Amino acid sequence: MYANLISASSVIILLASLSLGCRNTELESTWRDRELTIDGNAIDWEGSTVHLEDEKVTVGLSNDEDFLYLFLSSNDKNIQRQLLTRGLTVWFDPDGGNDRVFGIRFPLGVQGTGMPMMSRERMAPDREEFNEMYKKTLTELEILGPGKHDRLRTSVLAEHGISVKLGEARENLVYELKVPLSRTVDHPHAIGSAAGKTIGVGFETNQPNRQIMRDIPRW
C-alpha cells in the first residue's frame, strides 16, 4: 500500500490501503491542537479521524512544527493478522512523491523476527514460541533510509526521537507513530522535511511467508 500526504494543516491523499485496493482519497491533515500520547490508545484522536470504508481502516494525521503524528486502526481481523504476521512499514518521501526514502518498520511482524516457527520436539506450531515472537515484534523497530542501504534495528525505547506503539481498543488494532519532520542534531532520524511542505506517505506490508502463515497457531 502507498499513500501521499501534505502535512501542516493541508491535504492528505491516500492512494491505497494495506493492499486492499487502490483508490484516491483526499483527507485533511490537522494542526496539533491537543496532547497526542503515543500509547496505542484511540482516545486522543476522537473527532479527528476519518474512516475509509472500502479499505476497512480509520486514519488520523496531525502535525506541529517539529513532528508528524499518524494514527491507523482497524477491526478487520484479516488486516490485523496481516500487520502482526507480515509487519508494517510506513514510508516517507520528503519531496511529496511515491519514493521510499525514509521508513519506519513496526511491528516487525512474526516473519521478521528471525525466530524458528516450529517446535523441535514435535515439529508442530508451538504456542510459547509464537508468543515470544509476537512480543519481539513490539519491542523493536527498524529505521530505513535515507540512504539506500541505511538500516537500523533498535529498541522502541531508544532515544531516537521516534515513538511508535501498537495497542487494542474495542477489538480495534491501534497503531500510533510520532516521527520528527526535520533532521537535527537531536533528531538525526527524520523525514527530512518541514511543516507546510508536501510529504509522500506510504504504508507497506511484507510479502507473506506462506510457511509461517500456514504454521501460525490458531487458538
Please tell me the pTM assigned to this model.
0.80
* Positive/negative CA dihedral, 62, 39, 145, 205: negative
- The burial of 210, by beta-carbon neighbours within 10 Å (0-12 exposed, 13-18 middle, 19 or more buried), is given as exposed
DSSP string, 155-178: ETTSSSS-EEEEEEETTEEEEEEE
What percent of the chain stands above pLDDT 90?
A: 39
Name the residue with higher pLDDT: 16 or 75.
75
Name the residue with higher pLDDT: 217 or 63.
63
- The burial of 7, by beta-carbon neighbours within 10 Å (0-12 exposed, 13-18 middle, 19 or more buried), is given as buried
- Give the model confidence (pLDDT) of 30-66 as tens digits: 889 999 999 999 999 999 998 888 888 899 989 998 9
